[in-house]
Amino acid sequence: MNSCIGFILDEKLIEIDFSKERKFTPTTTVLNYLRDLPNHKGVKEGCAEGDCGACTIVIAELDGRNGLQYRAVNSCLIFLPKLHGKWLITVENIKNPDGSLHPVQQAMVDYHGSQCGFCTPGFIMSMFALYKSNLPNTRAVIEDALTGNLCRCTGYQPIIEAAEFALQDRKPDHFSKIEKEIIAILKKIVLKSMQMATDRQKYFMPVSVTELLYIKNQNPDAIIINGASDIALRVTKKYELIPSIIDTMQIEELHVIRKSIDHLYCGSAITLNQLMEVSREWYPAIYEACSVFGSKQIREMATIGGNLGTASPIGDLPPVLAAYKTDVVVVSEKGARIIPVDEFICGYRKTSLKKGEIIKGIKIPKPMDGTIIKFYKVSKRKDLDISTVSAAFRLTPDKEKKINEIKIIFGGMAEMTKHAVKTEKFLKGKSRTRETIEQAMPILEEEFTPISDARSSAQFRSVIAKNLLLRFFDDLADT
């Protein structure tokens, strides 16, 4: 078994062998690792929970087409083994070798994008990742890329202007010049099955599902992580020591996307950003859900399997996937099973996974023409916030515009994602009039007894739920 990871930092190959390492463990975060080095203190901790972006770094990795893909991520939520085979880029690396500033840095200086400067390294990294992408420099793209970076000083306006300017004309930078060398080094780092053990902890990185299932069987208490954007919080916020972890990062089968004529299949480890990209055409409501999911940095890490795996009552994917009648493919050493999303989540943070089973992927049928599916999320702040209430609607009208089929699924209204069964029943077969909807609203209000918490009161949740029904039908009026 191999316990040594390899990655590039400062253009050099760094190896950490956890069987010998004293200072760092497999669940040391990249943020803490970097801040422990004398020359990488540019990366900042603002929250240690993925919400501020001060810790943003860029990870570049082979894109499978002989190039590199650069992704900005929150280093506070990344465990060291996830760097294996990758190029870790920090704010110290961005300026040009001759000491002059990179275009994104120069623009931030010229447009007065920094005041106290504490958020700035994070912004630079998000902007740098955008610089290396082929996305246009529209305001929408910039806002999306920078939503995960909070700034308390500037009011963001100068930062937007700096980004617009820096991204106008993206010339090759010094990273482009060394890409070939980097790719050569990265290719030499073998992706292999690994087991990193310290005296208190085991961290597995298998390379196949078969191997994963075997390890899981041997270590029934091991926690499976995909992106770890949820699990990492147990380490960074609750300071838990997780004794046994199985990381799916290296398992190619879990990273596949297959589109066929009537459905889309996504592996469990497909990230929210990847899902967003593939859903644009056939699944606009999924696209919508992704676009208000966390921040771009979070979406680079968060995965489909992880979102279903948490079975959180305020997870954003379960309602919208249910509206698309998605099936979850689970697998164990005994074989595979297919479970509709609705049944997959069966209680407060409870899935119907049996012992030894893992989430392999999801199958989303392409809806029939005429079916309308929409997703709504209400949170205190519109972006980078967890749902107070979310709702997905599926409507198939018949020829007379009557409600032939209706599915209404709520998040945040109960201990788990739940259908508004009574309302669905009431509406089925009725005509789509304002009167019908208004009759349905009190029924909807009655069928849930939401809770009050840090995000909102129960009363607000009840009002929102019935209003979203009206919002859905009001939005339909335009179509």
What residues line the site for ligand FAD (CB under 6 A)?
Answer: 49-51, 223-231, 248, 268, 293-294, 298, 301-303, 305-307, 309-310, 315-316, 358-359, 386
The 10 Å Cβ neighbour count of residue 184 is 9
Q: Is position 97 an interface residue for another protein (rule: CB under 8 A)?
A: no
Rule CB under 6 A: choose which of 16, 30, 129, 151 binds ligand FES: 151
- Which of 439/457 has CB closer to another protein? 457
Rule CB under 8 A: choose which of 43, 129, 242, 320 binds another protein: 43
Amino acid at 272: L
**How many Å apart are CA 271 and CA 49, to the nearest integer?**
18
Q: Is position 409 an interface residue for another protein (rule: CB under 8 A)?
A: no
DSSP 61-74: EE-SSSSEEEEEEE
Give min distance, CB of 299 to ligand FAD, in A. Answer: 8
- Which of 229/326 has CB closer to ligand FAD? 229
Structure token digits, residue 375: 């997703």
Rule CB under 6 A: choose which of 32, 154, 250, 417 binds ligand FES: 154
164 binds, among ligand FES, ligand FAD, another protein, none (CB under 5 to 8 A by kind): none
DSSP 313-339: TT-SHHHHHHHTT-EEEEEETTEEEEE
- Which of 194/437 has CB closer to ligand FAD? 194
459 binds, among ligand FES, another protein, ligand FAD, none (CB under 5 to 8 A by kind): another protein
CA angle 219, 199, 223 (to 5 degrees): 30
* Neighbouring residues of 445: CB distance < 8 A, sequence distance ≥ 6: 462, 463, 465, 466
- Is the sign of the CA dihedral 231, 234, 237, 241 positive or negative? negative
- Which of 147/326 has CB closer to another protein? 147
Which residues, 102 to 141, sit near ligand FES by CB under 6 A?
114-120
Which residues, 264 to 283, sit near another protein by CB under 8 A?
none
76 binds, among another protein, ligand FES, ligand FAD, none (CB under 5 to 8 A by kind): ligand FES
Helix (H) or strand (E) holding 123, with range, is helix 120-131
Give min distance, CB of 13 to another protein, in A. Answer: 22
CA 137 to chain centre: 23
Q: Is position 77 an interface residue for another protein (rule: CB under 8 A)?
A: no
Q: Residues 377-400, buried b or exposed e (16+ Cβ, 10 A)?
A: bbbeeeebebbbbbbbbbbbbeee
DSSP 394-431: EEEE-TTSBEEEEEEEEESSSSS-EE-HHHHHHHTT-B
Per-residue string for binding with ligand FES, 53-92, x by CB under 6 A? Answer: xxx------------------x-x----------------
In contact, 299 and 273? CB cutoff 8 Å: yes
Rule CB under 8 A: choose which of 75, 90, 387, 390 binds another protein: 90
Pairing of strands 372-378, 389-397: antiparallel
Which residues, 207 to 266, sit near another protein by CB under 8 A?
237, 239
Q: Partners of 364 in the beta sheet?
A: 264
Q: Where are the beta strands (DSSP E) in 220-273?
A: 223-225, 244-247, 257-259, 263-267
Which residues, 190 to 249, sit near ligand FES by CB under 6 A?
none
Rule CB under 8 A: choose which of 84, 132, 374, 455 binds another protein: 455
Q: Partners of 331 in the beta sheet?
A: 336, 358
Q: Is position 408 an interface residue for another protein (rule: CB under 8 A)?
A: no
158 binds, among ligand FES, another protein, ligand FAD, none (CB under 5 to 8 A by kind): another protein
Give min distance, CB of 376 to another protein, in A. Answer: 8
**How many Å apart are CA 34 and CA 55, to the nearest integer?**
10
**How many Å apart are CA 330 and CA 452, to the nearest integer?**
34
470 binds, among another protein, ligand FES, ligand FAD, none (CB under 5 to 8 A by kind): another protein
**How many Å apart are CA 433 and CA 355, to the nearest integer?**
48
Amino acid at 336: A
Give min distance, CB of 94 to ligand FES, in A. Answer: 17
- Which of 90/310 has CB closer to ligand FAD? 310
Using the structure block, give the residue that is written with the tokens 């279903």: 308
CA 38 to chain centre: 31
Structure token digits, residue 81: 């083994």
Structure token digits, residue 395: 């409507």
55 binds, among ligand FAD, another protein, ligand FES, none (CB under 5 to 8 A by kind): ligand FES
Q: Is position 349 an interface residue for another protein (rule: CB under 8 A)?
A: no
> What is the rounded end-to-end Cα distance, in angstroms, of the chain?
58
Q: Is position 147 an interface residue for ligand FES (rule: CB under 6 A)?
A: no
Stretch that binds another protein, among 106-114, 202-210, 247-255, 307-315 (CB under 8 A): 106-114
In contact, 416 and 311? CB cutoff 8 Å: yes
Give min distance, CB of 120 to ligand FES, in A. Answer: 6
Rule CB under 6 A: choose which of 52, 205, 440, 441 binds ligand FES: 52
Give min distance, CB of 40 to another protein, in A. Answer: 8
Rule CB under 6 A: choose which of 2, 4, 24, 47 binds ligand FES: 47
Q: Is position 48 an interface residue for another protein (rule: CB under 8 A)?
A: yes
